[in-house]
Structure 1
Amino acid sequence: MTTVDPALSRPATLTSRSDVKAVPFSRLVLVEWRKQLDTRAGRWLLIVIAIVTAGVMLLMGAVGSGDVSFEAFLIGTTTPLGMLLPIVAILAATSEWSQRTALTTFTLEPRRLRVIGAKTLSAVGSGVGFYLVAVGLAALAHLWVVSFRGADADWDVTRLTYGTLLMVVLWMIGGIAFGLAFLSTPMAIVTYLVLPVVVSTVALFVTAWADVWPWIDLSTAAAPLAVDPDLAVEMGMSSGGEMWAQIATATLIWVGLPMAIGVWRVLRGEIKTA
């Protein structure tokens, strides 16, 4: 008669909670970053950004005398980023709800705040990466017009470089914030694109609030970052501490508030399969 060892027939069990290893945060970030490329919408959006950026540079360098500074090229390359890159962040933020994978994601990583952090960090990383590529393309375009079109070399863009980088970071965090606040890709994209336009249009007609808008509208508050400090003063823009205070206040409205709503919705919301 064959005997069976009771120890072998007993199912394996974990001896302590220390045997359960948490998902590393770096892995969560990589997974969230891959989600930006795995979907057809995300891939095509990145392709559109690349095509639009290349087309803008080609037009700027080929039309007219070609005497275009590095600063002008950089503004031209970052403009498509400001318009389209936040949509990549929105798609990343709403992927669990648009693809109906929220139950899978939060089963593998129940700590929802870590998932939100991974989404935000991966979106910021993508924004910084694309911005560095835009700087490189702007430099190549300026070298092209200097070498072949007789333009004067002009590389003085210190303030514009760090100022625009800061705006790219805020744009990406804002995209994540709007995506989490609505948990719906169409609603988040439409609101993110339309609402600032409405606010800016109202600001043009309500002149009595001209001094208030820089404290409310993020684009108006951050406009001095894209110009020379002396030129900003001549144009009547804020500078120094007042400028940073306006940027901070507008960021709280356009980034902090929707992020707080989004975090609350994700942490408190019921996760469904459909």
Structure 2
Amino acid sequence: MTVAAPVTVTIAAPTLLRLTEVELRKMTDTRAGRWLLAVVASAAVALVVVTLTAAPREDRTWPSFLTSSQAGVAVLFPVVGILAVTAEWSQRTALTTFALVPDRRRVLGAKVAAGAVLALFGVVFGLLCATLGRVVASLTDRGAGNWSIPGPMLASVLLAAILSITVGVAFGVLFLNAPLAIVAFFMVPSVLGILAGLVSAMESVNRWINPGAALDPLYDTGITGTEWARLATTMTIWLLIPLAVGTCRVIRTEVH
């Protein structure tokens, strides 16, 4: 009697594109994620309206409307990034995620990629709000400047949005605790800003290590070489180091 050899079935690992799609859905289909994105969208609309009604006429340009629309993205997208990581650990769904995708680095890479996609949507929505604001300004004779946004400015605004949400992901993997990561993200820059106002020697240092001060030039029409250097230094401190340390922690931490 011949015994048939066992059949081995190999299941292909999900692609990075598929993982990114899953992570993007996680960022947007939870109650907290939906509320945060709704607040970001509302802030974009509200700040464009404020610029239209309260800003000086010379500031009612298309680039100025775009800058106003991105304020909510700069403040709240890092929280979206933090929750994208910490929600799985607090709700104990990380065990399922890492069981399906054992290589945890691929999961973290997908979270970063999903954040970049979400940042792109945020900039597109902000551009739409800015365009509507500029149209209304033209129709009511309140606008200024011509109908143009420099290409480098669009690229730098998108870069700022991507960096903002990626810093959130980095803090999420570093702390693996949403309240602690959110408090650290907002408190440390605030303390640095206060120290810069109280101690003159800290003012120069603050521009090199405070993420808010480093990202601000990206929302303008031009950025100098010194500002690029400050941005690189700040992102090394706030993004690369936390992401590297956090990745090591995620890889080595036992999931219960």
So what's the TM-score if we normalise by structure 2?
0.90
Distance, in Å, in 2 between the alignment partners of 1:208 and 1:200 is 12
User: Could you say which residue in structure 2 is the equivalent of 1:184?
Assistant: 177
Indicate whether 1:154 and 2:146 are aligned: yes
**Structure 2 vs 1, CA of residues 225 and 36 (structure 1 numbering), >3 Å: closer, same or farther?**
closer
C-alpha separation in 1, matches of 2:70 and 2:121: 12
Q: Alignment partner of 1:215: what SS?
A: helix
The separation in 2 between residues aligned to 1:65 and 1:120, in whole angstroms, is 38
1:43 paired residue among 22, 26, 34: 34
Contact between 1:177 and 1:255, CA under 8 Å: does it hold in 2? Answer: yes
Is it true that 1:266 corresponds to 2:253 in the alignment?
no
The equivalent of 1:236 in structure 2 is: none
* Larger radius of gyration between Structure 1 and Structure 2: 1
Can you give the 5+ residue segments of structure 1 that lack an aligned partner in the other structure? 233-238
The correspondence for 1:134, drawn from 112, 126, 147, is: 126
Say yes or no: does 1:222 pair with 2:206: no
Partners of 1:146 and 1:153 within 8 A in 2:
no
1:251–1:42 Cα change, 3 Å: same
The one-letter code matched in structure 1 to 2:133 is: A
Q: What percentage of aligned pairs have identical amino acids?
A: 35
Partner of 1:73: 65
The letter of the residue matching 1:61 is L
Tell me which of 237, 240, 247 is aligned to 2:231: 247
Counterpart mapping for 1:1-274 below 5 A: 7=4, 13-14=7-8, 19-63=10-54, 68-158=60-150, 159-229=152-222, 239-240=224-225, 242-272=226-256
Cα-Cα RMSD:
2.3
Provide the C-alpha distance between the structure 2 equivalents of 1:64 and 1:254, rounded to a whole number of angstroms.
33
TM-score (norm 1): 0.85
Supply the distance in 1 between the matched residues of 2:229 and 2:55 (Cα, whole angstroms).
Answer: 40
User: Against the structure 1 CA distance between its residues 221 and 41, is the aligned structure 2 distance closer, same or farther, given a 3 Å change threshold?
Assistant: closer
The number of residue pairs the alignment matches comes to 254
Q: Is the 8 A contact 1:65 1:149 kept in 2?
A: no
